[in-house]
Structure formats: C-alpha cells, structure tokens
A and B are shown apart, each in its own frame.
Chain A
Amino acid sequence: MKRFMLSVIVLVLVLGLFVPSIAQEDVTLRVLWFNDANESDVFLDTIQPYLDENPHIKIDMQVVAFSDYEQKLKVMLTGDMAPDLARVTNNQIPVFLSELEPIAPYIEDIKDVESAFMAASLAFAKNENDEIIAYPTEATANGMIVNKTAFEKAGVDVAEVSKTWTWEEWEEIIKKVIAVEGNPTYGLALDFTPHRFSTLLFEFGGRMMNDDYTAVNFSNEKTVETITWFKRMHDEKIVPESVWLGSENPAELFQAGVVACHIGGSWNINVYAKNIKDFEWMVVVPPKGEIVSSVPGGKFVASFKGSKNKEEAQKLMAWFSEDGPNAKYCCDTFNLSSRIDSSVEYPSNTSDFAAFSEALKATPVYVANEWKNPVLSQISPVIKEQIVLALMGDISPADAAAAIDQKGAEMMK
C-alpha cells in the first residue's frame, strides 16, 4: 500500500512538473477582414475544425468596411498594431508588399503551394523577390452574363452560338435581340472600371503595358481599336451611355432587364441567383476577338512582418488553403476557387462557374502580370477619364491612349 501511495505521489509530482510545459499557451490571433457578403462568417465556420484541434488558438476578428479597409490597415501598421492575419485583394497586395511576411519559412516545401494554385492567382501573391507572401483563397474572373430569355425571344440559342461566336457575330445577333419588342433596350453593359474594360481590351488583342512591364503602353493598334469599337457601340446605342457617361450600375441595369449582356465579374452569380426572378440568365464564354480572355483577380490571406503571432497565423493560413477547407469556403461564399485541383461543388449555377473558370484558364499570364503592377491601379482614374473623353468625342481614341501613356510614364519615373 505504501509503495502504491508513493508511486501515486511521484506520478502526481512528475505530472505537476511537466503539465505546464506540455500545455500550450493560449494564442489569440487578431484577424482583420472585410465582407462582400457572408465571408467572415464562412471563414470562422470553415476554420472551426482547426480551432477544435488546436484549442489554444483563439480568434479575435474585426470586420471593417471595404471602403476604409486600406486606411485602417495602414493606420494599424503605422501604429505597430499589425493584425496577425488579414484578408487582402490583389489590388491591395502591392500597397502592403514590403510589410507582408513570406510564407516559405513556415512550410516544408514551397513547391507544394506553387503547384496548387492557378498561375494568375499566384502572380498577384508574389513580391519583387518572387517570394509568395499571401495564400490565394478565392479567384474572380471577368466574363459575359447574358439574358437567356431575351435571346430566346429573338430565336437565338445563346448557349449554342456562344460556343464559337466572334465579336462580329455577337454584334449581328445582339442587334436582332434588342430589336424584338419587349426585349432589353440595350445590348451590352460594361462595368465602369478599367479592370472590366480591360476584358474587352485583352480580347481585342490589346495590351496596357509593354512586354517587360516597364512602361504603360496604351498607344498600340489593338488597344486604340478597342476604344474605337467601344465608342461605336455607344454611338449606335448598343451600349447605354448611362454607365460610362453617367453613374448607373450595370448590374442593376441587367437585373432590371434593360441590357441583354453584362461584362462583369464572377461575383455577380451570387447576386443574380438571388435577385433575378423575371427572366433566365446564364454565363457564356465571351465572344472571341484576337483571343478569348478573362481578367483574373481575387482575395488572399496574409500575415505581416510586424504581426505578433505570425507563426500561428501562418499555420492557420496553410491549413485554410488546403483543398478541403478552401472548397468549403468557396462553396459557401459562392466564389471561384484559386486552387487548380479544387473539389468545390456548388449547390447551383455549376455551369455558370464553369464558364468563368473556362475563360480564366484561357487567359494569358501577361494579363495578371500587367494588373499586378501598382502603376496600373494608380492610373486607373486617368484611364477612366481619358476613355470617357474619347466616348464623348472630345478627343480621339489615339489621343486618349497617348494621354494615358504620358501619365503612366510620369508615375513610373
């Protein structure tokens, strides 16, 4: 009995000595997030199994409105209060590039990450030393969404013709579609952003930068041709003036049945699936110009050099970026996955997501490389302004392109 008691006492003492060192200290990860819809809730829901496996990890999330997100993050970084993990867009990565922590030191083999994601997404996630500094989560793609009912009324099977159509064929068809009484008044709406305009531009074989991405180069034949075409579409009332020369939201025009086609982003699937009740719609591969192209974009998760718990944040990000959690996150937020091998299965609109993915896969890498350059984001207001001037007929498309190049050259000095 004595021996037994002694053994128990020794065991208790030994455990007492070891338990504090075995139990991991609680780590609270400060997460900064912005929402388009329900992403913060889905993120927390997705990482719950990870938190269950690692009970010492707690999450303290702050959701900030997107319009002030960059400002808030800058203030936090300046004040030495960097979050441990933040959601960032492809446009924000260049802004915080020097502050973002490379992921390579925290994982076994960086090649596993490089091979898991689409090249276009990864292009945004690299710094000037070619190091990956963020994990891609969801991808966005630009493409064409059409009012299927309107095409049917004009006797056009849009699902069939869109498989091979060119822009010339599209123009011919769309004139028929808008001529039908009761159909949309206009043929096409394009979001009032250079990013969405560049979908057309790349399709027409245009470029915004030179081949080695060292200069803005709008003054090339195909880019000028795109602006000229876009102006003609406005002049012929195929594209409504109220978007680029006004302030109307093309997504709202499409939902109201005012336009037959919308060149917009993959995120519209979510909105249209909920809101459109009066007609059928679908995503099609955009008509072929010189090439078929989308414009990639997306969201990422990243940690910062100044983050206090970056090691734990990196572990969580690595887990979150694996196929299982990524597929759940993309399915529940109704987004495209950035992973090549994604096993995401959407509850609906599968063919619409597939059409966006198809366009994305056909997109040349230079598209992402051009948009990755922070100068393009900085001169976006100039691009908009000059295209608007060309649409109004105040300057020629060639002059607009030259003015954009000049501003770009000033900024790159």
Chain B
Amino acid sequence: MIMNNRKTFKILHYALLVILTAFFLFPVLWVVLSSFKPQSELFQIPIKILPQQWTFENYIEAMSRGDFVRYFSNSLFVAVTATIITVLISIMAGYGFSKYFFIGRDFLFMVMLATLMIPLQVIMVPIFLQLKASGLLNTLWGIIIPPSATPTGIFLARQYMATLPNSMIEAARIDGAGESRIFFHIILPLSKPIIATITIFSFMWRWNDYLWPLIVILDDKKQTIQQALANFVGQLQINWSQLLAMTTVAILPVIIIFLVFQKYFMTGISSGAVKG
C-alpha cells in the first residue's frame, strides 16, 4: 500500500515537473521556431507552432542589417571580462565581510546593500558626466569597470562564506599560512559553488545589460548585442522576424554558461540563501 502510494506520488511529482518545464520552455521554443517562419506566417490565425515553410531568410537579413559579429564580440568581451572582475571583487569582499572583524563592518555591509535601492535611471546623468571626466565614455571598459562591484554578488559570497568553519582558517594561521595563502589555497577552492553562481549571474547581467551600454557607448562599432537587438524595434514598425532570429542567437551564450556551471549552481544558491 505504502509502496503504491509512493509510486503514485512519484508519478504525480514527475508529471508536475514535466508540465512546469513545458510551461517555462514554451516561450523559448516559440521564439526559436518562429525565427524560422517567414514574416507573413507570424500573424496567421489560427496560430501554428511549427513553421509551414522553414526559412533562414530572417537570419541572413538580420545579419546583413549590422555588423553582428562585432556586436557579439563586444558583448562577449564585456561579459567575460566583467564577470572575472565581478567574481574576484565579490569573493574578496564577501570573505572580508564574513571572516574579518572590524569596527563598522555590519554598518558598511548594510550601506553597500542599500545601494541596491537606487535605480540606474535616477543617476544616469551624473554617471554620464563621471564617465566623461574619467575618459571611460565610449569605451568598452566604461561598460565593464563601473558596475563590476555588485552588491548582490558580494551579498551572495558573504552569505556562502559565513558557512565555512572559522576553525579551519584559525588552524591554517596556527600552521603559519599567510592571509593571501589562506584565501587562495583554502577559501577559493571551497568556494567553487558560489563562484559558479556569481559567474552565471554576472555573465547573464552583463550579457543582457542594455541601459548601461546605452549611456556609455556613442559609436555603432562599440555597440553590444542587446543594443543591436533593440534597434529592431522602431517607432512605428517592429521587425519581428529579424528580432526573433537574433534573439535566438543571443540567448545561446547564456544557455552554454548555465550548462557548464549548473552542477555548482544549485549548491551555491541554496547555501547563500539559508545560511547567514
């Protein structure tokens, strides 16, 4: 009886998971399939999921509308470089906030978290002036450097590192290890899950970032992929076919990054979420 109940529960459990997966996957699948439809098929009623006439025309035309190879390279450079810097800063700051005791530590942590409350739109003009004064305007480094220290990344790292036993660090100190040796040889290898989590988040933020590059970049050649995608939406017309085609291409890197780091991802997230 108990075995039967367990079996039924398992079947229901999997059925629910399959339904939820299909529910979340459907919009992505629809985007991908629609990118292979001619524009005239997009608005057909009744709606058909599969293209009646498969075409690569949308991809070819979209690629000819701009230097998409360059936009992808720009986005890739920005996302990878910014992620490396963000991970380094987050891990170091998280370690400092969780394992070092100094006056005003918690206050500083709260101040840092409070910066999450300021929307970018509010500080757009001062940021523009700052970037202009510092010579970062219209450079890819202007997109990378200023938002590198993310409060969310530091928060996640701090929460995770608080779970690492202090006794381990103290033992290393007694054994004569220096602070940098402790950080690089003990803390860093133990922080793989949170590094993977911040890597996924940071890559996704930077890859999908639109507003910051919009302020910083003044030259078409330095555009990121998100800026180029937005250009398909005009005042009076939207080129849905080409937008869908390039969106399909643009989501690939994020999926790849997630697949590479996913085995650490859940551990990192859950550790950061419940311990503190």
Contacts and interface: CB of A to CB of B under 8 A. Distances in A.
Contacts of A274: 39-40
A14 to B, nearest CB: 41
A278 B38 CA distance: 13
Interface in A238-289: 252, 255-258, 265, 267, 270-271, 274-278
A252 B43 contact: yes
Contacts of A68: 211, 214, 230
B125 interface: yes
A258 B217 CA distance: 43
A66 interface: yes
A68 B124 CA distance: 13
A63 interface: yes
B237 A36 contact: yes
Contact of A267 (B45, B211, B236): B236
A267 B217 CA distance: 30
Interface residues of A, number: 39
Contact of B237 (A41, A64, A271): A271
Given A252-B43, A255-B43, A258-B45, A71 B237 contact: no
A89 B45 contact: no
A267 B125 CA distance: 34
Nearest to A299: B235
A64 B39 CA distance: 24
Given A37-B237, A79-B132, A267-B236, A63 B40 contact: no
Contact of A64 (B65, B211, B214, B236): B214
Interface string A51-66: 0000000001111111
A86 B234 CA distance: 16
A66 B233 contact: yes
Q: Which of B45, B218, B236 has the largest number of chain A CB atoms within 10 A? A: B236
Interface string A83-100: 000000100000000000
Interface in B113-145: 124-125, 128-129, 132, 137
Given A38-B65, A277-B40, A79 B128 contact: yes
B215 interface: yes
Interface in B166-210: none
B215 A37 contact: no
A203 to B, nearest CB: 21
Contacts of A65: 227, 230-231, 233
A223 to B, nearest CB: 25
Contact of B230 (A67, A140, A252): A67
Nearest to B211: A68
B131 to A, nearest CB: 9
A148 B236 CA distance: 24
Interface in B227-275: 227, 230-231, 233-237, 239
A36 B218 contact: no
A72 interface: yes
A275 B43 contact: yes
A89 B128 contact: no
B125 A78 contact: yes
Given A79-B129, A275-B39, A275-B42, 18 more contacts: A30-B218, A35-B231, A37-B239, A38-B65, A62-B218, A62-B219, A63-B231, A64-B214, A64-B231, A65-B230, A66-B234, A68-B214, A75-B124, A252-B43, A258-B45, A267-B236, A267-B237, A275-B43
Which 3 A-B pairs give the minimum distances between C-beta atoms?
Answer: A36-B234, A65-B230, A256-B45
23 contacts: A36-B236, A37-B239, A62-B218, A65-B227, A65-B233, A66-B233, A68-B214, A68-B230, A72-B215, A75-B124, A76-B128, A76-B218, A81-B132, A89-B235, A252-B43, A255-B40, A256-B43, A267-B236, A274-B40, A275-B39, A275-B40, A275-B43, A278-B40
Interface of A: 30, 34-38, 41, 60-68, 71-72, 75-76, 78-79, 81, 89, 140, 252, 255-258, 265, 267, 270-271, 274-278
